[in-house]
């Protein structure tokens, strides 16, 4: 089944984003290689490809998981 995961930007997320991004992208790439990733996109706070200082409110992911618990476990580890 496909699940929509909305990840909300953590407090000080913009400052932590450069350090967390490589691992986040690697986890998404793993889903992609398994053929389970449908969509992954950042959610900028303003209507712009690069929101600059405005930052991001989070990200949206649509991926296939065996069940809701598996989707939650994946999201909580991200």
Q: Which helix (H) or strand (E) holds 30?
A: helix 13-33
> 62 and 36 in contact (C-beta within 8 Å)?
no
Instruction: For residue 62, give the nearest of 9, 10, 1, 17 by alpha carbon.
Output: 1
User: What per-residue confidence (pLDDT) applies to 67?
Assistant: 98
Is 11's pLDDT higher than 90?
Answer: no
Domains in the chain with CATH codes: 2-77 (3.30.70.1060)
**How many Å apart are CA 54 and CA 13, to the nearest integer?**
12
For residue 55, what pLDDT band results from cuts at 50, 70 and 90? confident
User: Global pTM?
Assistant: 0.85
């Amino acid at each position: 089944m496909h699940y929509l995961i909305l990840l909300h930007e953590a407090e000080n997320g913009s400052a932590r984003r450069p350090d967390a991004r490589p691992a986040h992208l690697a986890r998404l790439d793993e889903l992609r290689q398994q053929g389970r990733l449908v969509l992954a996109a950042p959610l900028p706070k303003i209507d712009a490809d690069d929101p600059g200082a405005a930052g991001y409110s989070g990200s949206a992911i649509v991926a296939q998981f065996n069940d809701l618990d598996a989707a939650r476990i994946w999201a909580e580890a991200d």
